[in-house]
Amino acid sequence: DGGITQSPKYLFRKEGQNVTLSCEQNLNHDAMYWYRQDPGQGLRLIYYSQIVNDFQKGDIAEGYSVSREKKESFPLTVTSAQKNPTAFYLCASKLQGNTGELFFGEGSRLTVL
C-alpha cells in the first residue's frame, strides 16, 4: 500500500520530556511537511523539507526540531521547550514542483500530562 504512515497515533508525555513523532512515505515524494492542527486555528506549518538533508522553519517552529536524513522519512521532535505541545500533528508530502497537492497521514495526537 502506498501512502504516508504516522506513528504513534496516540502519545502521552510528561512535562519536560522530548517526544519524537514518526512520518514515513513510500510515494517517492520529494517534499514533506509537518502541521499542527488545533480547534479554531486550522493547520499551522511547523517545518517543511524539499530535499534530503535540508529543511525550513514554518510559522510555528519554536520548540520543535526535525531531520531529513532519508527521502522517505521526516521525524518531528517535540521538545520540552514547546509550551503548548498538546495537539494533533499531521504529516504530509508531495512531489516537488507538483501543483501543490499534499498527501496527508492519519495524524498523531500528543497529550502532555
Binding site for other proteins (CB under 8 A): 31, 33, 35, 40-45, 48, 50, 56, 58-59, 90, 92, 96-102, 104-107
> Minimum distance from CB of 3 to other proteins (Å)?
9
User: Where does residue 105 rank: exposed (0-12), middle (13-18), buried (19+ CB within 10 A)?
Assistant: buried
Report the residue number, 2 or 42, with the smaller CB distance to other proteins: 42
Residue 55 contacts residue 64 (beta carbons within 8 Å) = no
Q: Distance between CA 60 and CA 47 in Å, rounded?
A: 8
> Minimum distance from CB of 91 to other proteins (Å)?
11
Nearest to 49 by CA among 3, 106, 94, 101: 94
Report the residue number, 15 or 96, with the smaller CB distance to other proteins: 96
Report the residue number, 11 or 102, with the smaller CB distance to other proteins: 102
